[in-house]
Structure 1
Amino acid sequence: MGGRPRPERLMQAFRNVLDECNLVDLGYEGPRYTWCNRRYEHGVVSERLDSYVANHSWRTCFPSSRVVHGFTAYSDHLPIILIPSSSHNRYQQKLFRFEAMWVEDDECGDVISRCWNGATDNRPMDSFIDRLRICSRGLEAWNKMKFGHVEKQIIKARESLQRLQHADPSSISREELMQAQNNL
């Protein structure tokens, strides 16, 4: 939306390469555009710059693949995520994520020390893996007691930002976007 037109000869050369290699665009879910110049009040330009392409063999191997345009709080580019197959991820265990805000709390170091030093084993590698597992569980439990449902607040802030990124860029103000980014 907006911006300078691309030279037709370059676009045709790109299309020719796609045709010669039998590549097709995999489509996407999510916001239409993957880049925005962030000039919301005057001269907003949004483009779908990024995409995944694949040939027939790849599409046969991964028939249920999906491409998702993600969201971002601070970059002018949205990430594009390839999910090759949803069936393999159905029963995957939730990943542990260390939250940066934890290190600002004085209790965090104590929780890590208590969990790390509480696990002992004679096998060094098993001991290391056990310590990581015990430490991650301890931090998750401490997080719920100390900070409550931060994940729900993050999800709500993320959904708000996604709604704005799905909207027509000329219909939102810079202040709205900045507020949604700061909430995240």
Structure 2
Amino acid sequence: MTTTPHLLIVPGLGGSGETHWQHLWHQKYSNSQMLVQESWDSPLLDQWLDKLNHSIQNVQEPTVLVGHSLGAVLIALWACKYDCKNIIGALLVAPADVDSATHTPEVVWNFAPLPVQPLAFPTLLITSTDDPYIAPERAEALANHWGSTFVSIGEKGHINGASNLGLWEEGQEYLKSFIESLQLPNS
């Protein structure tokens, strides 16, 4: 029997409101924790990185990071600066293209440039074909840079609360398969 990993949910710009799948997953999964930033609407990279790193360093069990949009970008940036043996993987959903003035608002540009090196743990990057915050080709290029498994789920917008996904069952299936693919310690 394998251990079920802890889930550290990492929201993006604006946080994840009550209709966002991240919020709903946090309510559903008792093994989850939601990262809370001091300022959801005026993100500063150093502050957000410090908060994420502090939360990660306090994790005592195998953990999968679950990032959405700017949260997915934050995870990639964290992985290029820090490490933690308890991070066993990350689900990166709809990463925002902070390098693109066309796709993202100026308030997130301080998160640029996006890293282009492989991340130190397994990742699954999920995007949609009509995400206004990143072009599908750019999402696939990031997946290649980061060493991520890449999945495009068709037209689902930014895969957020406005996408009306509810508990996003499809995403839960991807998460389950991803966790099953990881090397988890035996309990």
Would the TM-score normalized by the shorter structure come out above 0.5? no
**Which has the higher Rg, Structure 1 or Structure 2?**
1
Q: Which has the higher contact order (CA 8 A, sep 6+)?
A: 2
Instruction: Identify, as 1 or 2, the structure richer in helix.
Output: 1
Q: Normalised by the size of structure 1, how large is the TM-score?
A: 0.22
Q: Normalised by the size of structure 2, how large is the TM-score?
A: 0.22
